[in-house]
Chains A and B, each alone.
Chain A
Amino acid sequence: NAGVTQTPKFQVLKTGQSMTLQCAQDMNHNSMYWYRQDPGMGLRLIYYSASEGTTDKGEVPNGYNVSRLNKREFSLRLESAAPSQTSVYFCASSDITGTNTGELFFGEGSRLTVL
């Protein structure tokens, strides 16, 4: 069972370049999330999608866009990358059904460096 799959795992960009991080989950979860992790700051929510067809801003949405392509896939786009966006990005999914009381299932992360 793959769970949450993120691609790419590593990426180096130059300032001003654009890129898209892809995320797919095979657990039939309704909700999906993008977080960034920076040293000493924990995980900060960038965008989330409570259900297919909806997206909402989290704590740190500036400089990012998202697309909930279908129930399985949730992508994060950097239109014009900046050095401040150097971080590790995590995609996660969750659901509130049965024993799944909102706990998050995470991908392995995408390490992005912007030069």
Chain B
Amino acid sequence: AQSVTQLGSHVSVSEGALVLLRCNYSSSVPPYLFWYVQYPNQGLQLLLKYTTGATLVKGINGFEAEFKKSETSFHLTKPSAHMSDAAEYFCAVSGSGGYQKVTFGTGTKLQVIP
């Protein structure tokens, strides 16, 4: 069984401020972890992923996330928010090895204030 909890359905930051979106997961097997971004009226696209190896992963548009096994967390950060970062962000988990279903969190809408 696996699940994802995203803390905060809405987050507001000022342009240029740090972005921190929180994600905690549970998984009975070593997880693969993902962050997806959804812009209005579009499908989801992959922002970054953790599979194995380095626990700090870098993605597109300056985002990064750190896998912390002891805290079962995979928080998403960006040092300086840009207006174009306004979107909904989804954390997701799947099991590793072979075919595994993907479970999504409920999403966090990021608002960037000029």
Write the residues of chain A forming the contact surface with B, with a CB cutoff of 8 angstroms: 4, 30-31, 33, 35, 40-45, 48, 50-51, 58, 90, 92, 94, 96, 101-104, 106-109
Contacts and interface: CB of A to CB of B under 8 A. Distances in A.
A40 B6 CA distance: 11
Dominant secondary structure of chain A at its interface with chain B = strand
B101 A48 contact: yes
Nearest to A109: B43
B106 A42 contact: yes
Most chain A CB inside 10 Å of its own CB: which residue of B46, B49, B104:
B104
Contacts of A40: 9, 106-107
B: interface residue count bin: 20 to 34
A43 B43 contact: no
B99 A106 contact: no
Nearest to B46: A103
Given A101-B49, A108-B42, A96 B99 contact: yes
Given A90-B43, A103-B46, A109-B42, A96 B104 contact: no
